Amino acid sequence: MAKISLSKYFSEIYNDAEVPKFKVLVDGKWIDTKNGCDLISPLDGKKIAEISSANEEELKKAVSSAKANQSKIRDMAAIDRLELINSIRLELGKHVDELVNILVNESGKSINSARGEINAALERMRLSMEDSKKVYGEYLPGDWSSDTSQKMALVIREPIGVVLGVSPFNYPVYTSVAKIVPALLAGNSVVLKPPSADPVAFLMCAEIFRKCGVPSGTLQVVTCDGETAGKYLIRNDDINMISFTGSTSVGKEISQTAGLKKLHLELGGKGTAIVLEDADIELAAKECVKGSLELSGQRCDAISRILVVKKAKDALEKKLVAHLKDYTLGNPSDDNKVSMGPVINEKSAIRIDGLIKDALKHGAKLVAGGKFDRAYYEPTLLTDVPLDSRIAEEETFGPVITVITCSSEEEAISIANKSQYGLDSCVFTQNFYSAWKIMKSLQVGNVTLNAAPSHGTAYFPFGGVKNSGQGKEGVGYSLEEMTVIKTVIFNLSPAGLGKIYKGLFKD
């Protein structure tokens, strides 16, 4: 692909030069910034576009506009907000093929993976619309307590204000939509920073939001480098909440510098699969390969290591080798049968290779893979991985199946819980009592029985413990995270409507 070329519908979001430069959405208008950075496709390592890089002055304008215009979305009737989001959902559905094409070329996703992401975004919008109707307040009669017997209260939810959303490269469209839609439905304005590595598909979505009538200034979309964002956006007092999805290291920096803002942090993980002797080995192998290799392993909910009891080791490894053949590495723009594309860039491939070489140095066995060309890393299987190797503890974020042998389920639980992460895990067994014991014992936010972890459309809520973050993401839960509770108290005594506490039965 020589350069990105879009249909006329999206003509306002970029300058159609020899190498197109994409703009930022500030105060309801697409503007060109003074600075920019190259957009490199992982498919061939070539520059396909230039991305605007907002400076502090431009970010200041975006935040000021979001604050000044928040009342536009807050004052809309909830039914109008629902109808707005539905119109966006229907319009976005008309551009799926074009979005998929761009997503493949800028992120390296397979065609099926890219289409799955766009469809998941559409489904998340639908589910969020349905669940927003369930976010109510609460009536509290005061006569259950002696000091409030002549009062009543309403506990209501109100928008938090300006929400800053920061999205990752692995799901640039879905995660951005999952932050914006609940925020708008709750009556907030949004400043969204898409990933620098692959922002174009979401910039296209932002144009759909704008053309469908999102009130001017209630959605700002700014591309900028992480350092600029950290220095200005994270510290800005006009930002009321930060919803960040990304690495644990950056999440910690945000928590240390954000002040008293409300934080929702969805960070790294070390997804662990525990496979017991009585497991359905065929199922376990298929799910573990899927959980390790989908999206080239670049998922926070990926299976990052398999802890298998010794008696099941040989049978599982044999099946893992067989299911490796289910994944074909290649350029998805050249062949729609390719099931696994490159990782996001060559730098990432080099990092993954370093983890594998370290594991081999410590005594692991390389069964398959272990080579890369530019950003293309082969599906790799490592067995007999020692616990003192880096890949046994660090988040892999690459297409590597890591097998660690354990003597018992108790040892597997112990190894799993020593991790600094606590996002997702899974267990494979046909024994209910073993499953319940392990699922209750694991220190994670989500645990799945007999399937690989998958956040999907977040119909089931997810969120980590320990260094995997804070807060819950999910349909309904995300919307509640983006509201604040206000208690409104009524004194009923002037009208004689309260109930007088008489203390007749007091000890």
Residues 150/493, Cβ–Cβ less than 8 Å: yes
Report yes or no: 214 and 221 within 8 Å, Cβ to Cβ: no
Asked if 246 and 168 count as a contact pair (C-beta separation under 8 A), the reply is yes
DSSP, res 308:
E
Residue 430 near residue 279 (C-beta atoms within 8 A): yes
Q: Is the separation of the CB atoms in 416 and 442 below 8 Å?
A: yes
Residues facing 377 on adjacent strands: 372
Of all helices (H) and strands (E), which one includes residue 491?
Answer: strand 483-491
For residue 86, what are its two tokens? 């539905």
Token pair, residue 268, equals 């790294």
Alpha helices in 302-397 (DSSP H): 310-324, 346-361
- The closest alpha carbon to 185, from 135, 248, 236, belongs to 135
Backbone angles phi, psi at 446, to 5 degrees: -140, 140
- Which residue in 205, 224, 288, 300 is the catalytic one? 300
**Three-state SS at 484:** strand
User: In angstroms, rounded to a whole number, what is the distance separating the alpha carbons of residues 342 and 331?
Assistant: 7
Tokens 């949004």, residue located: 190
Can you read off the two tokens belonging to residue 337?
């049968």
> Helix-strand-coil percent breakdown of the chain, rounded to 5?
40, 25, 35
277 is catalytic: no
Sign of torsion over alpha carbons 224, 229, 232, 234: positive
Q: Which uninterrupted H or E stretch holds 72? A: helix 56-74
Q: With contact defined as beta carbons under 8 Å apart, do 47 and 56 qualify?
A: no
Distance separating alpha carbons of residues 235 and 211, to the nearest angstrom: 31
| CA separation, residue 236 to residues 34, 108, 111, 196, 225 (Å) | 22, 34, 39, 21, 16
Task: Please say if 117 is a catalytic residue.
Answer: no
Edge-to-edge strands, sheet with 24-26: 29-31, 24-26, 219-221, 189-193, 162-166, 241-245, 262-266, 469-470
- The catalytically annotated residue of 50, 106, 266, 395 is 266
Which residues are the active-site residues? Answer: 266, 300
